[in-house]
Amino acid sequence: MTQHPFRFAALCVMVCIVLVLILYAFADKPNDRKNGFSRKVLPAATLKSSLELKYPAYYIAGHTDEHIYLGNYSASQHLLAADRHLKDTQHLTLKLAPGERYAWKLARIMVDSPVVYMAEGSTPTLYRGRLDDLHMSRFLQQSCFFNMLQNVSATSFISRSIHLDSLGSSRNILTKIKTDSPYVTLGKNIIKKQVDGIFCTDGTLDYDKQTGKLVYVYHYRNEFVALDTNLHTLYTGHTLDTNTMAKIQVARLSTGGSKFSAPPAYVNSLARLADNRIYVLSTLVADNEHWQARHDTEIIDVYSLHDGTYIYTLHIPLQGKERITDFVVKGDQLLALCDHTLNVYTIARQ
């Protein structure tokens, strides 16, 4: 009789296991719910070389035909230079002018060879120097506060700033900062508010020197805006997915600020411009892709910079569990930065 309770317990465990397996079999898989679009996928990229990074928090500060430069959010004056094959590396330190001191840590380095910039938007402060000596001096004395900055020439920059309107509402706007008067020009009706004006308009900005065009890609909706360097809108384009509205929930804080009240639904993580094309790192799986694609690869959709039309999609194989945090495209090479590695891939082109 003493064995019956154990048999009953074992039976209960088996029934539970069977029920879990049945529920899993009938549960929605990541791609069971169709996202309403399809992709034209080219052959997967091929890993050519990889560089192990000793520290995390790197970002791509710039690149030339022969080198790529990495800045580090945890060490604002540090610059790592690597050749295009990742065989030769140099650790560089930006040098401030004698007596120059700063209290901020979260600065961003921008390399536009032979010039190098170091910028921080909450002060705001901007330094400029040259790669051949790395001596930095203060530059652009009259500016505005910014949370994103892109240099477009030796004398002008495009920034994303927070603008307070006459009703007391804050929103992201694009501005042009110049070394001569007018020093700051506000871009009107470029970034479109949907929810709160800040989180709902979050996105990524990049500049293509060859064509003189900028593109701002929203994170939470299927939309991007192409601009010239005077902040004139050239066209509004759309990514493949059907998310026309930002799916976010924002809560107001007693301090007057705001925060996400639920995890946001990312659509586009990052965008880079090269060779008259827009490369958008997407978070969504297409109807004609296997749901495992999002787990094993990064998905990059390619659009024409001329008019925003979709061209094709690249699958970038992941190395381990690290996701891509930044990337650049140089011809048939894609250099992808992850938490602890910098990888060079050969990509298909059309």
Tens digit of pLDDT for each residue in 41-79? Answer: 999 999 999 999 988 899 999 999 899 999 999 888 999
DSSP 42: P
Nearest alpha carbon to residue 155 among 172, 125, 130, 176: 176
Most confidently predicted of 25-29, 31-35, 66-70, 291-295: 66-70
- Average pLDDT on 81-108 reads 83
d(CA 62, CA 108): 11
Check: CB of residue 70 under 8 Å from CB of residue 58. Answer: yes
Pairwise pLDDT comparison (78 vs 166), residue with the higher score: 78
Nearest alpha carbon to residue 296 among 320, 314, 267, 270: 320
Q: Collapsing DSSP states into helix, strand and coil, what is residue 30?
A: coil
Tally Cβ neighbours within 10 Å of residue 309.
10
